[in-house]
Structure 1
Amino acid sequence: MMASNIELEQFYSREVEFPSPLLASHIKTAEREVHTLLAGMRSILRKNIDPSIEELIVQTGSSYEGLKVKGKMELDFMIVLFHPKFIFIPVTSDYSGYCKIKFQQEQLQSEMQSSKKWTSSSPPHSFQYDFTSDGYLIPSEIYKWFQSLADKAVNQNKSKFVRKFVGNLPARTLILNISPGVDICVDLVPAICIDRDLYVVAKPLKTSPDPHLWRLSLSVFEKKILSQHQSSCHLKALKILKYLREHDTRLEETSQFASGICSYHLKTASLHQLAQRPDTPEGLLEHLHQLMDFLIECMQRRELNHFFIGNPSSLAEKAKVPSNITHGERCLNLFDDKFVKESTLNQARERLVKIKGSLPAIIQQHSGPVAYSCNIY
């Protein structure tokens, strides 16, 4: 039995779409708390040592892209850091999508000699000493500093909403308990602007021995494209597939489609579909099937190329993505073994094939209220 477009539209409205007034209220609360936290962090910065924290917070993620679905309430902010002596060095070869940040070092030896505080029992402190090695900025050290600073600011500036901090690289997750049983998870990612809307975030590449690699973030450009296509069936289909993935463990506890594939993979696949077929007359069901088929094919080939890196397109050009990103880098395969294991990809594909084949039954099983909270481990 095939699901109809009408049934899928009803499922989207009833189960998938996050209520706009509630989302706006959560965003307002979270943004207020984040600005308060950042003000507290700025007040305890070490002068002439720590990088500065800019007033600007960069809003990213599904809640700002029009892609939020019912489930965990999560918000994503890039917290912009600055230092006047940052220099950026793009890294290609096996590390497309990453760069290094060089620091214009002053004479560290002369600093050590001139400081009366540095003794054999008291290590020297300077930006270079605390955050760099071999003249390059270390993302893990920036993250640890950011984490410690945020913890101190939370302890000093008590809030009725802030419950706790959790998190691993690259985000520090602020948990806001805004009412009994209702949490907002706010991911705070330290980032550095390298060119207008182009940022790098403190997420080292685990498969590289080089500790100095920063990951490029093109989320601002993705948000620009998605904001221009909010009425597209492509995005509705993407949100339905996101919902099915995020809640698939309710139906299959060990689902690799839920745990091995992330929402960024789905968004990337949808952007490729949008670029290839921007204006199509098909209904929502056809768009959902096309998206599933494309993703299944990518999993089979073990190849899902990043939408921007090494991939010129009219959408990227309209969003003003720097040409050195779309033309100057080779394609970055998000399904490469460095990122997703072959066994995980195979199991995720098998599960998605089953979901597509029994879509009406799957939709029927996804019913009932969903709590707007986030799990804390």
Structure 2
Amino acid sequence: MMASSIELDRFYSKEVEFPPRLLASHIDTAEREVRTLLAGMRSILRPDIDPSIQHDIVRTGSSYEGLKVKGDMELDFLIVLSHPEFKFIPMTSHYSGYRKIKAEQRQPLTQLQATNWRVSSPSHSFENDFTSDGYLMPSKIYQWFQSLADRAVKENKLIFFIKFVGNYPARTLILNISPGVDICVDLVPAIKIEGDLYAVAKPLKTSPDPHLWRLSFSVFEKNILRQHQSSCHLKALKILKYLREHDPRLEETSQFASGICSYHLKTASLHLLAQRPNTPEDLHERLHQLMDFLIECMQRRELNHFFIGNPSSLAEKANVPSSITHGECCLNLFDDKFVKESTLNQARERLVKIKGSLPAIIQRHSGPVAYSCNIY
């Protein structure tokens, strides 16, 4: 027995879709709190030493992509940094999807400026505090950002603030807006590369190079997905995302939930959207197509990043730099250095079971869902 498109539509409307008005209200509340916090952070910056915090926050993540499903309320913001006296120049690295950020002084200090600087601040400077060998250090930026946020929240009243949690590369702000309702806000320090391409302070664990920054394609993904809001592809993605996030309710040790992340699902959906943009609006067909594609990728242990080394019409329309789509090597998100083979096999087996008993799975998921914020 298979779940029909009508049954899936009913499940989507009742259980999966986050209520739009409630989502808009949560976003408005969180953004007000974040603006207050960032203003407080700017007020205690050390002149000439600390990076500047730009006023425009970059909104990313599922709540802005139209992919938010019922469950934990989370928001993602890139907090863009700059410095009036230094240019941040991206440099290529041997690792696809990563950059080094060279900090180059815009105008060399005069002898008098240099002398005064050494007298007034012999140990602290932008170079000493944030760079190594002329490159911006993601770990130093992250530690500074954490400390600055902690200080600012003590000096500026946030109405709903509970606590901060370090969740590298983000500083996660937890807001309790009503009894039992929390909003988790990830604040991620970022450097603008070009256009809508940013680098975030998350080094590559498998590399000994401490200067690497990970490229963020969040804005490109948001722009593409928002142009396809009415597509059955996105409805199917949200249903599968919901099933993954809530699978521990049915299977406590689910590797589909813990070993596979929502970014894997989104990447798979983008590949299908690029391959078959004009497929008929059949939710049952699109969901099974997505599950089949993901199962096949798990079997082959290959799911390539949608942008890196992958020229596509969607990437071109989104203005992704050609240096990324044509100039980088493909990045396999299912490579063993990212997901262990045993984890991938167990996740695949679980997804096969979910696909094979979808009507029963959907029935078991029907019911109230608690809104909370879990930090692991």
TM-score w.r.t. length of structure 1: 0.95
The answer (yes or no) to whether the contact 1:197–1:220 under 8 Å persists in 2 is yes
The answer (yes or no) to whether the contact 2:302–2:334 under 8 Å persists in 1 is yes
Give the secondary structure class of the aligned counterpart of 1:373: coil
2:19 is matched by which residue type in structure 1? P
Is 1:147 aligned to 2:150, yes or no?
no
Q: Deviations over 1:176-211 (max 9, x none)?
A: 100010001111000111112111000000000000
Deviation at 1:117?
A: 5.2
2:89 is matched by which residue type in structure 1? F
1:71 is matched by which residue type in structure 2? G
1:227 is matched by which residue type in structure 2? R
Alignment-derived partner of residue 4 in structure 2: 4
The answer (yes or no) to whether the contact 2:82–2:88 under 8 Å persists in 1 is no
Farther-moved stretch of structure 1 (239-248 vs 76-85): 76-85
Deviation at 1:308?
A: 0.6
Alignment-derived partner of residue 237 in structure 1: 236
Alignment-derived partner of residue 275 in structure 2: 276
Deviation at 1:167?
A: 2.2
Deviation at 1:70?
A: 0.2
Deviation at 1:112?
A: 8.1
Give the secondary structure class of the aligned counterpart of 1:115: helix
Matches of residues 52-67 of structure 1 in structure 2 within 5 Å?
A: 52-67=52-67
Give the secondary structure class of the aligned counterpart of 1:188: strand
Alignment-derived partner of residue 339 in structure 1: 338
Q: Deviations over 1:292-331 (max 9, x none)?
A: 0111111111111111111001111111111111111111
1:249 is matched by which residue type in structure 2? P
2:60 is matched by which residue type in structure 1? T
Matches of residues 228-267 of structure 1 in structure 2 within 5 Å?
A: 228-267=227-266
Counterpart-to-counterpart distance in 1, 2:114 and 2:181: 51
Matches of residues 93-172 of structure 1 in structure 2 within 5 Å?
A: 93=94, 95-104=95-104, 111=114, 115-116=118-119, 124-172=123-171
Deviation at 1:345?
A: 1.0
Deviation at 1:92?
A: 4.4
The number of aligned residues is: 372
In the alignment, structure 2 segments of 5+ residues that lack a partner are none
TM-score w.r.t. length of structure 2: 0.95
Give the secondary structure class of the aligned counterpart of 1:312: coil
- Cα distance, 1:237–1:114 mapped onto 2, change above 3 Å: closer
Alignment-derived partner of residue 362 in structure 2: 363
Deviation at 1:341?
A: 1.2
Deviation at 1:88?
A: 2.6
The answer (yes or no) to whether the contact 1:86–1:101 under 8 Å persists in 2 is no
Q: What is the CA RMSD across the aligned residues, in angstroms?
A: 1.7
Is 1:88 aligned to 2:81, yes or no?
no
Give the secondary structure class of the aligned counterpart of 1:104: strand
Matches of residues 190-201 of structure 1 in structure 2 within 5 Å?
A: 190-201=189-200
Farther-moved stretch of structure 1 (237-246 vs 193-202): 193-202
Counterpart-to-counterpart distance in 2, 1:155 and 1:272: 45
Farther-moved stretch of structure 1 (79-88 vs 1-10): 79-88
Counterpart-to-counterpart distance in 2, 1:209 and 1:71: 37
Once superposed, which parts of structure 1, at least 4 consecutive aligned residues long, lie more than 6 Å away? Answer: none
1:372 is matched by which residue type in structure 2? Y
Q: Deviations over 1:228-274 (max 9, x none)?
A: 10000000000000000000111111111101111011000000000
Matches of residues 169-188 of structure 1 in structure 2 within 5 Å?
A: 169-188=168-187
In the alignment, structure 1 segments of 5+ residues that lack a partner are none
Counterpart-to-counterpart distance in 1, 2:53 and 2:39: 9
Farther-moved stretch of structure 1 (342-351 vs 236-245): 342-351
- Cα distance, 1:61–1:287 mapped onto 2, change above 3 Å: same
Farther-moved stretch of structure 1 (234-243 vs 366-375): 366-375
1:10 is matched by which residue type in structure 2? R
Q: Deviations over 1:88-113 (max 9, x none)?
A: 344343x1000000112568x99589
Counterpart-to-counterpart distance in 1, 2:196 and 2:159: 34
Alignment-derived partner of residue 35 in structure 1: 35
Farther-moved stretch of structure 1 (139-148 vs 81-90): 81-90
